[in-house]
A and B are shown apart, each in its own frame.
Chain A
Amino acid sequence: MCGPAAWAADTPQDLVLKGDATCTACHDEADGPELLAIGKTRHGTQADTRTPTCTSCHGDSTEHVGYKGSGKRPHPSVVFGAKSVNTADARNGACQDCHVKDSKRSHWEGSTHQARDVTCAACHKVHAAKDPVRDKRTQSEVCFACHKEQRNLINKPSHHPIAEGKMSCSDCHNPHGSTGPSLMKRNSVTETCYTCHMEKRGPFVHNHQPVNEDCSTCHNPHGTVTESLLKSRPPFLCNSCHTPHGPIQPALVNGSALAGSSSGWWTPTVITQGKSCVSCHALIHGSNNPSAAGQRFFR
Chain B
Amino acid sequence: MKTREQLFGFQQKLLVLALLAAFGPAHAADDEVAKLIKPDTASISAGAAVAGAFRPNGSLFGQYNGWANNSSAVLLDFDLIQRNDETGTWVTAAGRDLGLDSRELSLGSQRQGAWKVSLDYSELVRHDPRTLNTGLQGIGSSQLTVNSLAATGTGANQNLDIKRTSYSLGLEDWITPGVSVELSVKSEDKAGARLSGVGGYCGPVVPSAFCAIASGGLLMLAEPITSNTQQLEAKLNWVGTGYSLTAGYYASLYRNDKNATQISGINGNLSNLSNLSALLSQPVSQAPDNQAYQMYLSGTYKLTPTINTTFHYAATHATQSDSFASSGTPAAAGLPSSLNGVVDSTLAQLGVTARPMPKLSLLANVRYEDIADNTPHALYGGTYSNQTNSSTKTNSKAEATYLFPENYRATFGVDYNWTKRKLPDVGSTLLLIPGDSLTSIRETTNELVYRAELRKALTDSLNATLVYSQSRRDGSHWVNLGATTSAYPNTYQPLRYVDVTAGGVFPTTMMDRNRDKVRVLLDWAASDALSLQFNGESGHDVYSAPNTAAGLKSANTFALGVDASLAVTDDWKLTGFVNYGEQLMNVSQTAGYIARLNNVTTNYGVGVLGKLSGKTEVGGDLSYLDDNNAYGLGSGNSAAPGVLPDVSYNTIALKLFAKYALDKQSDVRVDLVHQNITFHDWAWGSASTPYAYSDNSTVSMQPNQIVTYLGVKYVYRLK
Q: Which residues of chain A have a CB within 8 Å of any CB of chain B?
A: 1-3, 5-7, 9-10, 15-16, 28-30, 33, 36-42, 44-51, 82-83, 100-101, 103, 106-107, 109-110, 114-115, 129, 145, 148-149, 151-152, 155-157, 161, 164, 166, 177, 179, 181, 187-188, 194-196, 198-207, 209-210, 212-214, 217, 225, 227, 232-233, 236, 239-244, 246-255, 257-262, 264-266, 269-270, 272-275, 278-280, 282-283, 285-296, 298-299
Contacts and interface: CB of A to CB of B under 8 A. Distances in A.
Query: Which 4 residue pairs of A and B lie closest in terms of their CB atoms, listed nearest first?
Result: A265-B216, A39-B37, A47-B88, A280-B199
A292 B431 CA distance: 13
Contact of B579 (A28, A152, A181, A258): A152
Contacts of A262: 204, 214
A258 B647 CA distance: 23
24 contacts: A2-B30, A29-B1, A37-B37, A46-B88, A47-B84, A100-B244, A109-B308, A148-B559, A161-B126, A164-B64, A203-B375, A204-B320, A205-B386, A209-B387, A209-B389, A241-B505, A243-B503, A249-B633, A252-B682, A259-B215, A273-B683, A288-B339, A290-B331, A290-B380
Contacts of A6: 3, 7, 22-23, 26
B710 interface: no
Given A155-B603, A274-B691, A39 B38 contact: yes
B349 A29 contact: no
Contacts of B629: 225, 233
B439 A47 contact: no
Nearest to A252: B686
Interface string B209-241: 000001111100101000101010001010100
A15 B29 CA distance: 11
B312 interface: yes
Interface stretch (B46-54, B139-147, B292-300, B657-665): B292-300
Given A10-B4, A109-B353, A44 B37 contact: yes
Nearest to A148: B561
Contacts of A244: 589-590
A262 to B, nearest CB: 7
A30 B2 contact: yes
Contacts of A103: 182, 235, 237, 244, 246, 298
Interface stretch (B277-285, B468-476, B487-495, B609-617): B277-285
Contact of B437 (A100, A243, A258, A289): A243
Interface string B647-675: 10101000000000000000000000000
Contact of B380 (A46, A205, A264): A205
A134 B200 CA distance: 50
B229 A157 contact: no
B352 A110 contact: yes
Nearest to A41: B39
B324 interface: yes
Nearest to B178: A101
A28 B692 CA distance: 70
A42 B88 CA distance: 9
A274 B687 CA distance: 15
B161 interface: no
Contacts, number: 459
Which residue, A100, A217, A291, has most C-beta atoms of chain B within 10 A?
A291
A241 B509 CA distance: 8
A83 B384 CA distance: 66
B217 A252 contact: no
Given A29-B29, A107-B312, A148-B563, 11 more contacts: A2-B30, A110-B365, A187-B312, A187-B369, A204-B320, A209-B421, A251-B639, A252-B644, A257-B272, A291-B329, A294-B381
Contact of B29 (A2, A198, A265): A2
B675 to A, nearest CB: 10
B233 to A, nearest CB: 10
